[in-house]
Amino acid sequence: MNHKLTALLTALLTLWPATGLHAQTADNLPADTDRNLISAALKGWHLRLGAGLSLGGTSPLPLPAEIRDIENYNPTLCIALEGAVQKKLSDHWGIMLGLRFENKGMATRARVKNYHMEAVNADGSGKVVGAWTGKVKTEVDNNYLTVPMLLTYTINPRWQVMAGPYVAWMMNGSFTGEAYDGYIRDQDPTGEKAEVTRATYDFSDDLRRFHWGVQVGGEYRAYKHLAVNLNLQWGINGIFPSDFNSVTFALYPIYGTLGFSYLF
């Protein structure tokens, strides 16, 4: 997973110029930085950089009857790096706009019955399409550039809650898996039965690029410049376009992120 961390850290560095803290000479860096931050604070703007770990999955809601049992779930290593600006509108209310680079992934293994399947038979006999009964293993690994637009409410100097929509662009992603230990009926559950040892599928090229959803969360200010936060992101549109038929139900990315922020 090191390539994910490297890519996200590199991407986060692109946020640094936007904060007004870009590289300057050694003589004037502290003074200019202080002046910029003080000026922004006097206007009600506050800057922050943060990182976190996400846990969740890409799931249909509710689980369809075809999925009889989830036998294994692996959340994988999902990292989020974010820069944000916050402006206070009053003693309690404010707004926050962020730019987040994040990974959302998982691996699951399930037992299914009459599950619509389009896959390539491992024995070389070609594509199989129909109602699958047996086991499936799915792996999802998507990287997003996300812009949360949040309304904040400060309860007291320590606690703050926030909520609002987000939009995201999938920079790259994969959705792959395999079906094994079962059989398939041609086209639908009443079709001709055929034993299948193993078949694979890859719908990575069919993933939706543009996503949107809602985010809610809270933050505890542990120290003057350090806050701990927890938020939930719930995708509203599925990871596949509505006209994609190889998966017959919508899959929504639902993830929680625990992280920290450095407050300037």
Specify the pLDDT at position 33: 52
- Token match 């490297």: residue? 6
Distance CA(29)–CA(23), nearest Å, equals 8
**Kind of pairing, strands 159-186 and 67-74?**
unpaired
* Rounded average pLDDT over 202-224: 96
Name the DSSP letter for residue 77. Answer: -
Specify the pLDDT at position 196: 83
Cis geometry, peptide bond prior to residue 62 (ω within 30 degrees of 0): yes
Locate the domains of the chain by residue range. 2-263
Distance CA(122)–CA(133), nearest Å, equals 17
Distance CA(68)–CA(74), nearest Å, equals 18
pLDDT digits (tens, 9 = 90+) for 233-242: 999 999 999 8
- Going by pLDDT thresholds of 50, 70 and 90, the confidence category of residue 141 is very high
Q: Taken in order 106, 109, 111, 116, is the CA torsion positive or negative?
A: positive
Class of domain 2-263: mainly beta
Q: Give CA torsion, residues 80, 86, 89, 91, to 10 deg.
A: 80
Distance CA(232)–CA(165), nearest Å, equals 11
Percentage above 90 pLDDT, the chain:
65
Q: Give CA torsion, residues 111, 114, 116, 121, to 10 deg.
A: 70
Q: 67 with 110: CB under 8 angstroms?
A: yes
pLDDT digits (tens, 9 = 90+) for 143-194: 999 999 999 999 999 999 999 999 999 999 999 999 999 999 988 888 888 8
Q: 154 with 94: CB under 8 angstroms?
A: yes
**Kind of pairing, strands 210-221 and 226-235?**
antiparallel
Q: Taken in order 44, 49, 51, 55, is the CA torsion positive or negative?
A: positive
pLDDT digits (tens, 9 = 90+) for 72-114: 999 999 999 999 999 999 989 999 999 999 999 999 999 999 9
Helices (H), the chain: 2-13, 29-42
pTM > 0.85? no
- Token match 């812009």: residue? 147
Q: 169 with 154: CB under 8 angstroms?
A: no
Specify the pLDDT at position 56: 95
| Residue 140: C-alpha distances to residues 1, 105, 207, 251, 253 (Å) | 14, 5, 11, 11, 10
Query: Cβ neighbours of residue 212 under 8 Å, at least 6 residues apart?
Result: 165, 166, 167, 168, 235, 236, 237
